[in-house]
Amino acid sequence: MKTIRWGIIGAGRIASTFAAALKSMEYTKLTAIASRDLTRAEEFAERFQIKKAYGSYEELARDPAIDVVYIATPHTEHKMNSALCLTNKKAVLCEKPLTINYAETEYLMSLAKKQNVFLMEAMWTKFLPVTAVVKSWLAEKKIGELRHIRSSFGYSAAFDGSSRIYNPDTAGGALLDVGVYPIAYVVYLLEELPEQVVSSAVIGRSHVDEQNVISLRFPGGILADISSAVSADTGNDALIIGDRGRIFVPNFWKADKVERYDTNGQLVETYYLPHKKNGYEYEAEEVNRCLREGETESDTHPLSSTLEVMKIMDQIRGQWGLKYPQEEN
């Protein structure tokens, strides 16, 4: 089997988690790491036994020994970093959200098509075995007709206006950081788009959404009650309710367990599968498969899906009157 050679742009926490996943995989080689701080790149390389450490993203993008680049930089750098790699004919797996808005996502999609190069947003939740189980239970109507989904992703971070989380210059706030997860999850489970979107947010002192609530109405009378926060620990679970029971997914975004209950609230089925490493290996395996088979998109998470969710998030921010500084021009 062909070994896929990876590079990573960005040497922060999420890059470390992804690097650990790559190092656990067969026929996968982590070839290079790039940071704008060469010392940081060298320290990262030493920690994960990576041969090449670059002090610029351009050097990594031009390296002929790399097949695909994982981009782990802040939201606002995703468009530029992805475009750099795509124009250098490097396949790209970019952290979510792929960009900060619909227009930027459209641009990267058109660039990837022009270059005939693979591009995918790193929505790792879709590739978890537990997510596949949830989808199969819904298809088999194990909880009857679906009626309602409740999902939240919120944590409490101390306010720091200069941090990535609270800084509008880095497109901070709850929606793009964690709200994208439940929105993408619900749309993926239902396999259709909402016909109505209603939302509200608390815009904090640094002018980003510190917490929000979102109501999505889907065809057939299905409602989704979604929330996300960076200033409140709202939990990270999903509850999927049908007319003959419910499905509970603890920590749905990184789930390794799912439970099914009957109409009396009795537990009737449990699926548990610990991650091989940390859960990121599943999306990396999908990228490897696509590259080996010459595909430029993933069937599980196609670019059209990323664009659809981005359109929903643009609509939500429009309801709040929230624009990032980069969008003001």
297-327 per-residue burial string, b: 16 or more CB within 10 A, e: under 16: bbebbebebbbbbbbbbeebbeebebebebe
HEC string of 143-201 equals CCCEEEEEEEEEEECCCCCCCCCCCHHHCCCHHHHHHHHHHHHHHHHHCCCCCEEEEEE
Side chain identity, residue 300: T
Q: For the CA atoms of the chain, what is the radius of gyration?
A: 20
Cβ proximity of 95 and 87 under 8 Å: no
Using alpha carbons, list the distances in angstroms from residue 85 to 10, 58, 94, 183, 241. Answer: 13, 8, 10, 28, 42
Cα 259–Cα 267–Cα 226 angle in degrees, nearest 5: 45
Q: Give the 3-state secondary structure of residue 40.
A: helix
Cβ proximity of 283 and 124 under 8 Å: yes
Cβ proximity of 82 and 105 under 8 Å: no
- Name residue, tokens 């450490």: 53
- Asked about 96 being catalytic, the answer comes back as yes
Cβ proximity of 74 and 170 under 8 Å: yes
Please identify which of the residues 23, 29, 51, 96 carries the catalytic annotation.
96
Give the residue numbers annotated as catalytic, written as ranges: 96
